[in-house]
Each structure stands twice: as structure tokens, then as C-alpha cells.
Amino acid sequence: MKKAAALALATGAVGANAKVYFEEKFADGEKYSDRWTMSTWKDEQMGKFTISTGKYSGESDEAKKSAEGLMTSEDHRFYGATASFDKFSNEGKDLIIQYQVKYEEEIGCGGGYIKIGPTQDKEALEKFGDPTPYNIMFGPDKCGYQSRTHLIFNAGEGKNILKTQDLPYKQDKVGVSTLYRMLLRTNNTVAVEVDGESIFDGEIEKEWKMLSAKTIPDPEDKKPEDWVDEAMIDDPEDSKPEDWVDEEEVVDPEATKPDDWDTEEDGEWEAPKIKNPKFKGAWKAKKIDNPAYKGVWAPKNIANPEYEGEERASSLYKFEDFGFIGIDLWQVKSGALFDNILITDELEKADELKAEWKKQNEAEVEAKEAFMKTSTTTTTTTAASSKDDDDIDIDADDDKDDDKDDL
């Protein structure tokens, strides 16, 4: 599977003109704020980012430095941050978007995705949030029982198109970094890898409804007045049996007028009704096939005047303007750590950071396992110590009882 994914991603149009459009490793700590703009979109509801390695990282200073990333730090908050880069178009070039994110704990409801969009001015970036237009949204999202790896493309005119069937959710390893890679190809296909394994490789037009339909039902076409669309009808030869009882209630034969009933004061006495024990229900004639049935009527199709045309269909991959990358989230539980963000058409560069992720991932797994092992050992030792203390207390109580007996 990994080999197939690597081959799929290696078919990109990269070469001598390959370029890295954006790279962020948060290697200089808090100086990242010189490059990133913090959003004030939700005012006091906005959470703060911090630089952190997370709970688990390698032991060496180099490993810890490599593990530093931008992390959400407050629960029940919105988060917004953007970084700008020189405007470019991916026309005629494959495009790779890659980054890694890890959750310090299960966030419950929230995301770890990124947005890549068209050039925005400083004022717009300061208000970056859900309403801000973007070209691509990519990464994990979860709330309650709904979870998926998002991949959304903008089709213009504010239309953000989700994949017809969700990509599987893979962000389920707490404390360990997950690597996300998307390759957008010039042949209008897209491939997605998570932790180096393919989770999707297919055509944009088939999986995202980016285009209007080529044909539409003719709004002028009307159903003929003599059209018969009832598939079944009552059998005209079927009739209700003579002994069929369809009276649901009958007069109670055992009811008698009370002796003290006064007709002048109480009115004419009527016996109460009870459920009819012979009631068979409402009779209905059996159904038969309608000999006049013509089928389900539908208007004829005509060419859709709003269809974008084959030229647009052949360039679904293309965006004229990329100019910023952003993190726009809502999180119930904080602790999402972003690192090694890359936008490029150079596969070798993406693989270089992938190798760094793998090394970091292995260190995180090792550190987490060591912590869990130490935690388990400590818990076991504490429990054993507690048990020994209980034994001592019991013996002490026995000694006191013996002393009482001697007296």
C-alpha cells in the first residue's frame, strides 16, 4: 500500500522549475509572530497560540527543538492565524500541501485542518475566520460521532465543495504527530496520504461536484393530462363480503338504564357503546396492476445553459491565486500542535520533511511508551505500598486487642 501511494505521488510534474512557495518549521520559537498574523475575528472568544513540543519528544536538545510547533492552549475557544507568501498560481504544475499535527489529548469537538487561500490584505487577515474565502481546506475534523479528513475545494462564487463521500478520520493517536499530504495534479486528480499511506487517489470531477450538470430537466416540459402514473389500482371485481363487519363499536347489550334515571333532568337515556368483538377493520379492495400505467413521468433533459464547459472541466485543479495559509479552528479541548507546514511543487522537498516527521514520530512513540510504562510501574508500586500499610495497620489493631485481653 505504501509503495502504491509513493508511486502515485511520484507522478507529479516537478523538475528543474520546482519551487517551495511556503515553509514553516517554527524553529525560532516566539519569533513566529513576526511572520504570522493573529486573528481577532471572534474578539474575546479567540484562544491563544503558544510554542510547545508537546508532552512527548526526543530526549536530545536537537529532538526537542525539532518537535517545537504552534499549539492551541485554551479550551472552548476559536483560533485564527495566517501567514502570507508571494502570490502564485498552480496552473500547469502539480501542487503539494503537507503538514503535521498532533493532539495532546482527545479534543472532543474541533479540528486540526488548515486553509490555503487567495491573497488578502492585512486588514482581512486580522479578521481571518470562517467567512474568509479560501481555495482549499485540508485536514482532520471531528465532533461527536461525525469525524473525517476534510478536503474541500472552492468552486468560485463562494461555493465550498465537500467530497461526496468523506475521507476516513486518522487523527486518533494522542501525543503523536500525524503527517498529512495532499497532491493536486494537473490531470484533475488528487491524492491524499496520511502517515505515508494512501487514503484516496481519484478524479476531482467524480468525487467533488465542482461543475454544474451538463444537462438539466426542461422547465418547459409538462406532464400530459392523460398521463397515468398510478402503478396499482383497486380491483374493480373485488367486493366486500356480505358478512364483513366494519362497525368498530356496538351498543353494550348488558347495559341497563339506572333505576334513579330521571328523563326530565338527565335527558333521554342511551346505552353506552363497547368495542365490537366482530369488527374486522375497514374493508379495502385488493390492488392489481394498472393496465393504463405509463410509468413514472419525468421531463426531458436539455443542455444546461449554466454549464461551465469543457475548458473549465479540464482545469478543475487550477487556482489563479494562492497567497496565504491559515489555521481557523474551534476546539472544545485545546492542545493541537501544528508543525512542518509546506506548500510546494517539489516532491523531493516534501519527502525530506516526511523523513523528518518519521524520525520525530518514532521519538514521540518511544517517549510516550516510556511514560506509560513508568506511570504503570508507579501506580503498581503505590498500590502495593498501600496494601502493605493496610497490613501494618491491621497488625497494630491486633496488638491493641491483645493488650486489652492481658488487662
pLDDT at residue number 35: 96
pLDDT at residue number 199: 98
Characterize the bridge pairing of strands 189-194 and 178-184.
antiparallel
pLDDT at residue number 388: 56
Would you put residue 126 in left (φ > 0), alpha (ψ -120 to 50) or beta? alpha
> Which residues have C-beta within 8 Å of that of residue 245, sequence separation ≥ 6?
276, 278, 279, 280
pLDDT in tens, 66-121: 889 999 999 999 999 999 999 999 999 999 999 999 999 998 899 999 999 999 99
* Phi, psi for 11 (deg, rounded to 5): -90, 10
Span 2-25, average pLDDT: 61
pLDDT at residue number 386: 58
Whether the pTM exceeds 0.85: the reply is: no
pLDDT surpassing 80 at residue 194: yes
Q: Which domains does the chain have, with CATH numbers?
A: 2-211+317-369 (2.60.120.200)
User: Where does the pLDDT of residue 288 fall: very low under 50, low under 70, confident under 90, or very high at 90 and above?
Assistant: very high
User: Where does the pLDDT of residue 377 fall: very low under 50, low under 70, confident under 90, or very high at 90 and above?
Assistant: low
pLDDT in tens, 219-228: 999 999 999 9
Characterize the bridge pairing of strands 114-117 and 136-143.
antiparallel
Q: How many CA atoms lie within 13 A of 345 on its CB side?
A: 19
Q: How many CB atoms lie within 10 A of CB 75?
A: 15
Radius of gyration (C-alpha) of the chain in whole angstroms:
36
SS3 353: helix
Q: How many CB atoms lie within 10 A of CB 347?
A: 21
Residue 215, CA distances (Å) to 96, 298, 307, 315, 394 in order:
34, 14, 8, 20, 86
User: Where does the pLDDT of residue 10 fall: very low under 50, low under 70, confident under 90, or very high at 90 and above?
Assistant: very low
The DSSP line for 99-167 is EEEEESS--SEEE--EEEES---HHHHHT-STTS--SEEEEEEEETTEEEEEEEEE-STT-EEPBSSPB
Q: Residue 13 forms beta bridges with which residues?
A: none
For 136, the grid coordinates are 482549499
Q: How many CB atoms lie within 10 A of CB 246?
A: 12
User: Where does the pLDDT of residue 380 fall: very low under 50, low under 70, confident under 90, or very high at 90 and above?
Assistant: low
Q: Which helix (H) or strand (E) holds 79?
A: strand 77-88
**Which of 194, 202, 207, 111 is CA-nearest to residue 163?**
207
